Amino acid sequence: MANRPLSPHLQIWKWGPHMLVSILHRITGDGMALVGLGVLLWWLGALASGPEAYETFSTLATTPIGYVVLVGLSWAFFTHLMSGLRHFVLDIGAGYELDTNKMWSIVSPVLGVLLTVAFWAVVLLK
């Protein structure tokens, strides 16, 4: 048998922010697909079913648990968006330098949080 190098295992890799962003990208995408689709279909069904059904949806969406779900979905959206833009830049061949990659791996989730806060400030303060 040839003495070939083995692929490194996860215990060998040093964890970095790029790994966290990659995992967050997958989690937020799945969360939006599962939870977001359910909320969207519920909203559309309530909208099509008439004022009483929409009032029920609106009442439940504005409870504390409803706000947690909606804020979580918006955070997932903005975090996924920022991570997707980071991946787009990587796909065109830029940003592979270690310092640049690390900086954007830290900045993208921070921007996701800031955009979520700004979005809800606009929604709640208007």
Residues making up the annotated binding site are 80
Task: Compute the distance between CA of residue 117 and CA of residue 9 in angstroms, rounded to an integer.
Answer: 38
Q: Is residue 55 classed exposed, middle or buried when 0-12, 13-18 and 19+ CB atoms within 10 A define those classes?
A: exposed
Q: Are 33 and 122 in contact (CB under 8 A)?
A: no
Alpha-carbon 47 to chain mean position:
26
CB neighbour class for 89 (10 Å; exposed up to 12, middle 13-18, buried from 19) = middle
Binding residues for heme: 80
Contact 28, 83 (CB under 8 A): yes
